[in-house]
Amino acid sequence: MTYTFRFGPVLEAYRDLLAGAWLTLQLSASAMLLGLVVAIACAWAKTSGPKPLRWVVDCYIEIIRNTPFLVQIFFIFFGLPAAGLRLSPNAAALLAMVINVGAYATEIIRAGIESIHKGQVEAGLALGLKPLQVFRYIVLKPALRTVYPALTSQFILLMLTSSVVSAISADDLTSMANNIQSLTFTSFEVYLVVTLMYLAMSLAFSAVFSAIHRLAFAYPDRR
Amino acid sequence: MLRQFGTNEFLFILTAARWTVLLSLIAFAGGAIGGLIVALSRVSSLKALSLTAGGFIQVFQGTPLLMQLFLVFFGATTLGFDTNPWIAAAVALTLNASAFLGEIWRGCIQAVPKGQWEAAGALGLHYPATMRYIILPQAFKIALPPTVGFLVQLIKATSLAAIIGFTEVTRAGQIINNATFRPFVVFGIVAAIYFILCWPLSHLSMRLERRFAAATTR
């Protein structure tokens, strides 16, 4: 083997890599939060909305879940300017991520809502709780407890998928790696370091999420 | 001057779909072999084997597929091989599919009730025979719906091979879009091709799951 590894130029660019990682985190977190809003609205529409709305939501979910994220990004990034709406790569990336994660999270949240037995709500009302209290103590907490693991792994998946936004040159971690490799010709080294950064982020998040799960959703309820 | 979007452009995208299908099939076949090895290692009583398989799964599930593609693509050059996007994509997707199928199938093997192991032991069957005749046939039934579901993921994942320059359907769309600049039409068609490939499988997976759930609830 004649190849000599050069990690020097990669490590010198650590500021860029950290900035990229920070943007990846920002993108993922904002996309997840906005995606949850979309998902809660769509889950409501699917479980108790009017029929035409249900059909629209079904189409949205099926289209997003059966096409690749890369194609969705291209559609948004190249398509919207043709329709007269110009978006920066970062904005297009965020929009694509929200639309994408919204569809997956809808199914998760719907499952959570449907997992609450009707009798629970009736029992709560019979005990004299107000509807808001029933929602807060009887529906929301067990529903969240049920879907929490699925939502957190969806978040980690979203963060990993977000590397695809480098295809439209957003400023995320993978794009930074692309810049560094084109300047220094140390492709393997850059991508190895960046892969380890992604691995560290996903391991850290899954550790934090499971710690939160143990503390906040311990069963039986200790409060 | 921009090219018009006509039948030739449409056929260029449509025929590129065969590479998407072929790449998916190769990765699925390779991933099935790799996945079986990973799953069997994961449930093995040998600690070292089980931990290695666990680490393999963790690394591939904890990093972006795009990075895995880049590492295989550029890693091959580093090791002195000729880099070919076609082979790099097939290798990276096979490794990725091995990890995911391995984890899915591990769960299915462990979902076979303990009593089956004990009964096999009581009948005097040794480990390979127990696996081959008792556990795997039952695990196969449990594994079918999520495996078909994973095939959908895999077909969508092959789109990333476009980024390293392999001309499957997404890359074909990019090429045509650069020439004609009709993004809605071009990526609409590309999306429709994926949808036609994936949607029947998604539904098959759901139907299998429902049928399996109906068969196991008493």
Ordered by where they begin, the domains of chain A are: 8-216 (1.10.3720.10)
Minimal Cα distance from B80: which residue of A? Answer: A1
Q: Report CB contact under 8 Å: A68, B194.
A: yes
- Percent pLDDT > 90 in chain A is 65
pLDDT at A5: 80
Q: Is B210:A94 a contact under the CB 8 Å cutoff?
A: no
Tell me if chain B has a CB within 8 Å of the CB of A158: no
> Which residue bears the tokens 């290695």?
B52
The domain that holds B54 is classified in CATH as 1.10.3720.10
pLDDT at A1: 54
Instruction: State whether residue B167 is helix, strand or coil.
Output: coil
- Residue B117, domain extent: 7-216
CA B201 to each of CA A55, A99, B59: distance values in angstroms, whole numbers, following the listed order = 20, 22, 27
Helix (H) or strand (E) holding A215: helix A187-216
- How high does pLDDT run on average in chain B? 94
Q: What is the pLDDT of residues A45-62, one digit of tens each?
A: 887 788 999 999 999 999
pLDDT at A223: 46
pLDDT at A144 over 90: no
Restricting to B residues 189-208, those with a Cβ less than 8 Å away from any Cβ of A are 190-191, 194-195, 198-199, 202
Whether B2 is covered by a domain: the verdict is no
Residues 6+ apart with CB under 8 A from A188: A5, B71, B74, B75, B77, B78
Whether B22 is covered by a domain: the verdict is yes
Q: What is the pLDDT of residues A176-192, one digit of tens each?
A: 999 999 888 888 999 99
Q: Is B166:B157 a contact under the CB 8 Å cutoff?
A: no
Q: How many domains does chain B have?
A: 1
pTM: 0.91
Whether B1 is covered by a domain: the verdict is no
Q: What is the pLDDT of residues A9-20, one digit of tens each?
A: 888 889 999 999
Whether B11 is covered by a domain: the verdict is yes
Tell me if chain A has a CB within 8 Å of the CB of B2: no
DSSP state of B132: I
pLDDT at A222 over 60: no
Q: What is the mean pLDDT of residues B20-42?
A: 97
